[in-house]
Amino acid sequence: MNEDLGKLVEAIKDRHSVRSYMNLPIEQEKLDKLSEIIEECNKEGDLHIQLCNKAGKTYSRIMNKVAGLGSAPSVIACVGKDDATLDERVGYYGEKIVLCAQQLGLSTCWTGTFSAKNVPVMVSGGERLVIVIAVGYGANGGRPHKSKSMEQVLATTGQTPKWFDFGVDMALLAPTAINQQKFRIGLKDDGTVTFEDKGGPFSKVDLGIVKYHFEVGAEYIKSQS
């Protein structure tokens, strides 16, 4: 378990958003691995996330083409029953899939701007397509985003345990919409961790991603004791 967590920590550190992709298809073996983790996440998170091997015209908008996303060969469409928890669940489980892709040598990019009607995905009654993740072989490895300091996102004072601090470090590496990082993380006296969403575009999706990153970091340190 510690080895798996260690690999996830490395994936979190190594992974950066990539908007330009090479004209290379994803091998079937890797598509199968992605489909497997997607199925697991759908069951755990009560979601309907779908891997679309051919991105089609998902990124046909001019701004997407200019950004380079039109070159993405495949997409992961994040769909689920539309309720108050959907966006956060999409973020949490979607990031699990993103980090799996990273470990397979693939690049990804969470994208809130796309041509919804052109995404080759099935959305049933009562469901909503929240966001799309581009996936493929990146033309580059992306670059680190500018991050807030730990003090800027803490909702607690005083000394905190190592597992909490490392969890926050991992949370600060989480991708967020327009790099807004509009979240705060606190620690109660009873050891309960709190997460606050401060609003903004896709902030609930961001919060789900942040929670998963924090969880990986915290569990990694705890597993070493």
In three-state form (DSSP H/G/I as H, E/B as E, the rest C), the secondary structure along 7-67 is HHHHHHHHCCECCCECCCCCCHHHHHHHHHHHHHHHHHHCECCEEECCCCCCCCCHHHHHH
Is a pLDDT exceeding 60 seen at residue 1?
Answer: no
If phi > 0 it is left, if psi is from -120 to 50 it is alpha, else beta; for residue 160 that is: beta
The Cα-based distances of 207 to 30, 75, 166 in angstroms read 28, 21, 17
The predicted structure's pLDDT at residue 221: 96
User: Tens of pLDDT along 44-94?
Assistant: 999 999 999 999 899 988 878 777 788 899 999 999 999 999 999 999 999
* pLDDT top residue among 200 and 88: 88
The predicted structure's pLDDT at residue 78: 98
Which residue, among 122, 136, 129, 140, has the nearest Cα to 70 in the 3D structure? 136
The predicted structure's pLDDT at residue 205: 97
Taking only Cα atoms into account, the Rg of the chain, rounded to an integer number of angstroms, comes to 17
**DSSP per-residue letters across the chain:** -HHHHHHHHHHHHH--B---B-S-PPPHHHHHHHHHHHHHHHHHHTB--EEESS-TTTT-SHHHHHHTGGG--EEEEEEEE-STTHHHHHHHHHHHHHHHHHHTT-EEEEES-S-GGGS-----TTEEEEEEEEEE-BSS---PPP---HHHHB---S---HHHHHHHHHHTTS--GGG---EEEEE-TTS-EEEEE---TTHHHHHHHHHHHHHHHHHHHHHT-
Beta bridge partners of 193: 187
Query: Which domains does the chain possess?
Result: 17-136 (3.40.109.10), 150-223 (3.40.109.30)
pTM: 0.95
